[in-house]
Chain A
Amino acid sequence: MSVAEPTAPPTVAARAVAASKLYGSGATEVRALDAIDVEFTSGRFTAIMGPSGSGKSTLMHCIAGLDTLTSGQVFIGDVDLSGLSERQLTTMRRDRIGFIFQAFNLVPTLTALENITLPIALAGRDPDAEWLDLVISTVGLGDRLKHRPSELSGGQQQRVAVSRALASRPEIIFADEPTGNLDSNAGAEILGFMRRAVDEFGQTIVMVTHDPLAASYADRVVYLVDGRIVHDMAAPTPEGIIDMMKSLELGHH
């Protein structure tokens, strides 16, 4: 059983240093990220929140190696992503990062099991059977493994996506509105699995969401407005988050 050592000192799974992202130039310049400094501690579940256009998705994309910064640095572990080639970035995503997207998470031609082991297969490795069994039984997909995505419900599809993200035991998982397309029950189930992954497996998860209820599953909420972190809340509750959002909104105007 791979449970995080409680005595180990907290390490940083990913961080951004003075991360800026600009679109356009001159009068039409938009600062999606404005010199952000943030760290994501290993074994913790962090939610990134913020209104539309606040830069929360851009931040996630840049840290996850899907997008590049205009200036500043992002690190996965000790590796500076800005120094990596396209190919190195790809293997970084494959071997050290897990992804859960809002929709279109799965390859339609592959079975649930093949989707779960996709990054491992792309690396040309064999999955760790014991770990895989544990992940699959945790999310409760045992009888659905031979099914294709089109034969699965939205909730089941997201469970496959969570399993895929966990299967290769990445250093960090990025989830982009993972419950955005689900009804509340299915959404709660997925968030529950993610919570367990952090608690029981010591997984690090960074989740972008606009839903206070979803964010309340996290250990910490980072709130962005206009490309800057305006609030950093530990042990959030739905009510606390809503209050924060209200106060921020008032302060903003």
Chain B
Amino acid sequence: MLRAALKGILAHKLRLLTTSLAVTLGVAFMAGTLVLTDTVGRTFDQLFADIGEGVDAVVRSTESIDTGFGFTQRARIDKNVADLVLTVDGVAAVSPEAAGFAQIVDRDGNPIGGGQGPPTLGFAWPAVDEVNPLVIVDGRPPVGPGQVAIDNGVASSADFVVGDTVTVLTQAGPGEFEITSIVKFGEVDSPGGATMAVFALPIAQQLLLGDAQQISEAYVVAEPGVSQEELTDRLGEVVPPGVEAVTGAQYIQENQDAIRQGLSFFNTFLLIFAIVALVVGAFIIYNTFSIIVAQRSREMALMRAIGASRRQVLGSVLIEAVVVGLVAAFVGLAVGIAFAIGLRELLVVAGIDIPATGLVVAARTAIVSLVVGVGVTVFSAVAPARREKSIPPIAALRDVAHDESSSSAARIVSGLVVLALGVGLLLLGLYGETGNDGPLVGLGILALFVGVFVLGPVFARPLSAGIGWPLPRFRGMAGTLARENAMRNPKRTSATAAALMIGVGLVSFITIFADSTKASIDQLVDDSFIGDFVIDSGSFGFGGLSPDLAPRLDELPEVGVATGLRFSVAEVDGSSTFLVGIDAARAIEIVDIGIVEGQATDLGAEEIAVLDRVAEDNGWTIGSTVPVRFVQTGTVDLTVAVIYENGALAGDYVLGIEAFEANTAEQFDAQIYVVRAPGTTAEEARAAITPIVDEYANATLQDLTEFKEAQSAQINQLLNLIYALLGLAIIIALMGIANTLALSIFERTRELGLLRAVGMTRSQMRSTVRWESVIIALLGTFLGFVIGVFVGWLLIQAFADQGLSVFRVPVTQLVVIVVLSALAGVAAAILPARRAARLDVLKAITSE
């Protein structure tokens, strides 16, 4: 039986190839993702090991807040701690660190990196050689004000050499520096693509921390013979309260763990798309095996008739599935490794730069690829195989069975149950407090797809008829036959369309979600902004606009009010949250956060404004005390002075500028809002503002229309990345359509021969296949739209109180998707149509 099965497979090499391909691509994506993240992970491991090399202990603040994605914000410490540490027995040297945001500006005045690009690091030149990972390529270390060392990556890309003058943006505003040195980071030009600006310690303290009395942390080198643990224990005894000492090994480990955590988010993000591709592949395998089983029923029945047991017949199908799965897994793994390189390029194009050295192919990657490849294939083939098992030997006497059944009561009921389950999971994920919102929503969407897949045969016939309705009118008999062919086997048509439905459903859902977000932002800006201009840093958290800028603009006679908006991280109730800092009394003239109770002017050094929903959840009213834990100042009790309702703009908590500055270390404006002075035209205001803004390379001056466009552009960038990732699922679905058509054509050989004999031309034959393909593609698109619009609508409803106030279906984009789907259908039909047209008429009509 095994030999018979293997012979059968070899007899259909092309089918083996196309069927395997459906799973191969999904496996390749998954393997590629794993290889990529492993590789990036190892690169960072190496990087942090290099940074920590020679560091025996780190002295730092005990206060820290986890800001998510593996990032931790830690309080600064007094610089005297470094002097104190130096007196400890066994300490050979101490290197104080002062690190923060420093963005290098290129010769054309454009900031390098930052925003969604690579991080822009500024830090102090290490005082101790043992802990210094920097390698001088050219020049001398910076020692005084106005001196900087930059990394070799920036130096070569922006064409800087030692002795050049460069502008660097810091918290203290833009500054001109002489490049005294160009450095490598260990062996690489720049660590992980980040840019580096290195200053002498006092300069770094001043520019990056804004406080010459503080340092970020201090690296300690032990004397020979003193172990890291011993050193750390001794340090622990002398450091003041709020300061701790950890071993160099722990420090490296923490950094590595943190980046792994950030990578795992990235990994999950990519794996979701790999899973989507695999689900689509599974649908195609299921469909292909169903068709193969139907076509082979005669052969199989014959085997049953001559004595093969049902188990043997089932086995032969499963053997084929295993072979297909193995081929898919091995090829997928190989392609995936190549894919990892391509994926990296794709991300670079999308603006997410990640470093990569040698590829890391872990054993885990190979095992997972193998298990998933074989698993998905066999799982998808089991149902069709079981059907084959039940073929009675008498079927040998019949013609190839045409399964035209479509709507049994059991099918309708189970389909509706799965749909209901999907909606339930979605609602639970969106509104329930389970802490597993993402997976629940994902499973819910999957269940919707499966539900529609199960119900597909019920409505595939009427929908195909509807979609193909105009065909007979403008494509004559070829159109009529295309429509009839799409309708003749609703199970097959719907299963084929379902694969495309998944890709299109996700694309339309993402498109609708993104478009609604854009519409919501537009509405928000229109409703809440009284101002004329927004100056945007493109940054959200790390760095931003120097706090000097807003006051300078404010002084201009053409400007009525210019005030900034800052972000910081703090903990309320044990969970970290973003805090917004504004000069409330002034900002209220420009932005409307929808104050429900209290007055903006009430926000002083000890007050806080809270979103109405958050206040309600916590039972806070005006005058309530809210304990907020800041990184720098620890837990501070603030009094609720204002309750507002516009959370989309201001988030959950807002501090007045006094309270913000008192409790947070870094002072950057993420955005500055400007309203022009009365009697000044927009042009005049812009003319006055522009030269000042131009001094700050990372500041972008936008009027409200430009601001809205810029926000849309940011969303589009992410959207394009997601489109590219979903593109794979769509390509796989198209191969599924091609596969189905090819198998159908094989099955209809006699019929096609007859058509050709009685006068159908080759081009009419191609047209018939092509339009059948288009109908299937449009059916999948339609089903995808239904799910996409529904899920999009559901999600917008769920996020309504977080600012997604508008549900907008982008008709133009959806029309584009329909047109592209139809074209994709045409493309999928090219090879099958050619095969049908080339059919040997005589053989076809005389074959048994």
CB atoms of B762 and A90 under 8 A apart: yes
Q: Name 16 extra pairs, CB < 8 A, besides A90-B762, A91-B761, A104-B751.
A: A93-B757, A93-B758, A94-B759, A99-B758, A101-B757, A101-B845, A105-B754, A107-B481, A107-B755, A109-B485, A110-B481, A121-B480, A122-B758, A122-B759, A124-B476, A164-B758
* Residue of chain A at shortest CB distance from B748: A108
* Residue of chain A at shortest CB distance from B749: A104
* Residue of chain A at shortest CB distance from B764: A122
B15: Cβ under 8 A from any A Cβ: no
* Residue of chain A at shortest CB distance from B750: A104
Q: Which of A201-246 contact B (CB under 8 A)?
A: none
Q: Which of A86-112 contact B (CB under 8 A)?
A: 86-87, 90-91, 93-95, 99, 101, 104-110
* Residues of chain B lying within 8 A (CB to CB) of residue A144: none
Interface size on A, residues (CB 8 A): 28
With a 10 A CB-CB cut-off, give which of B481, B488, B759, B845 has the most chain A CB atoms: B759
Give min CB distance, A204 to chain B, whole Å: 17
A104 CA to B841 CA in the complex, in Å? 13
A134: Cβ under 8 A from any B Cβ: no
User: Chain B's interface: helix, strand, loop or mixed, by majority?
Assistant: helix
A119: Cβ under 8 A from any B Cβ: yes
With a 10 A CB-CB cut-off, give which of A114, A121, A123 has the most chain B CB atoms: A121
B842: Cβ under 8 A from any A Cβ: yes
* Residues of chain B lying within 8 A (CB to CB) of residue A66: 757, 841-842, 845
Give min CB distance, A211 to chain B, whole Å: 19
A118: Cβ under 8 A from any B Cβ: yes
Q: List 20 A-B contacts (CB under 8 A).
A: A66-B842, A86-B762, A87-B762, A90-B760, A90-B761, A91-B759, A91-B761, A99-B757, A104-B750, A107-B481, A109-B485, A109-B487, A110-B484, A114-B480, A118-B477, A122-B476, A122-B755, A123-B759, A124-B476, A124-B477
* Residues of chain B lying within 8 A (CB to CB) of residue A87: 761-762
**A107 and B756 in contact (CB under 8 A), knowing A87-B762, A114-B480, A124-B476?**
no
Give min CB distance, A154 to chain B, whole Å: 13
A108 CA to B759 CA in the complex, in Å? 17
A105 CA to B845 CA in the complex, in Å? 9
Q: Which of B448-502 contact A (CB under 8 A)?
A: 476-477, 480-481, 484-485, 487-488
CB atoms of A119 and B751 under 8 A apart: no
CB atoms of B758 and A119 under 8 A apart: yes
A74 CA to B389 CA in the complex, in Å? 51
A114 CA to B481 CA in the complex, in Å? 10
Give min CB distance, A164 to chain B, whole Å: 7
A109 CA to B757 CA in the complex, in Å? 17
A124 CA to B764 CA in the complex, in Å? 11
A2 CA to B756 CA in the complex, in Å? 28
CB atoms of B476 and A118 under 8 A apart: no
**A108 and B751 in contact (CB under 8 A), knowing A118-B758, A164-B758?**
yes
A186 CA to B484 CA in the complex, in Å? 29
* Residues of chain A lying within 8 A (CB to CB) of residue B761: 87, 90-91, 94, 122
Interface size on B, residues (CB 8 A): 25
A67: Cβ under 8 A from any B Cβ: yes
Digitize A126-153: 1 where CB-to-B-CB distance is under 8 Å, 0 elsewhere: 0000000000000000000000000000
* Residues of chain B lying within 8 A (CB to CB) of residue A110: 480-481, 484
CB atoms of B845 and A104 under 8 A apart: yes
* Residue of chain B at shortest CB distance from A110: B484
A84 CA to B697 CA in the complex, in Å? 74
* Residues of chain A lying within 8 A (CB to CB) of residue B480: 110, 114, 121
* Residues of chain B lying within 8 A (CB to CB) of residue A93: 757-759
Select which of A61, A86, A109, A122 is within 8 A of B760 by beta carbon: A122
CB atoms of B759 and A95 under 8 A apart: yes
A109 CA to B482 CA in the complex, in Å? 10
* Residues of chain A lying within 8 A (CB to CB) of residue B755: 107, 118, 122
* Residues of chain A lying within 8 A (CB to CB) of residue B842: 61, 66-67
* Residues of chain B lying within 8 A (CB to CB) of residue A109: 481, 484-485, 487-488
Select which of A91, A106, A121 is within 8 A of B476 by beta carbon: A121
Give min CB distance, A153 to chain B, whole Å: 16
Select which of A61, A90, A108 is within 8 A of B756 by beta carbon: A90
With a 10 A CB-CB cut-off, give which of B754, B758, B846 has the most chain A CB atoms: B758
List the 4 shortest-distance A-B pairs measured between CB atoms, nearest first: A94-B759, A109-B484, A121-B477, A104-B750
Digitize B746-774: 1 where CB-to-A-CB distance is under 8 Å, 0 elsewhere: 00001100111111111010000000000
A123 CA to B488 CA in the complex, in Å? 24
* Residue of chain A at shortest CB distance from B757: A99
Give min CB distance, B549 to chain A, whole Å: 72
* Residues of chain A lying within 8 A (CB to CB) of residue B402: 108
Give min CB distance, B492 to chain A, whole Å: 13
A109 CA to B477 CA in the complex, in Å? 12
Give min CB distance, A94 to chain B, whole Å: 2
CB atoms of B758 and A94 under 8 A apart: yes
* Residue of chain B at shortest CB distance from A57: B846
Q: Which of A49-77 contact B (CB under 8 A)?
A: 57, 61, 66-67
CB atoms of B762 and A101 under 8 A apart: no
Give min CB distance, A208 to chain B, whole Å: 12
A95 CA to B402 CA in the complex, in Å? 32
Digitize B340-383: 1 where CB-to-A-CB distance is under 8 Å, 0 elsewhere: 00000000000000000000000000000000000000000000
* Residues of chain B lying within 8 A (CB to CB) of residue A107: 481, 751, 754-755
Q: Which of A25-63 contact B (CB under 8 A)?
A: 57, 61
A95 CA to B758 CA in the complex, in Å? 9
**A122 and B750 in contact (CB under 8 A), knowing A93-B759, A94-B758?**
no
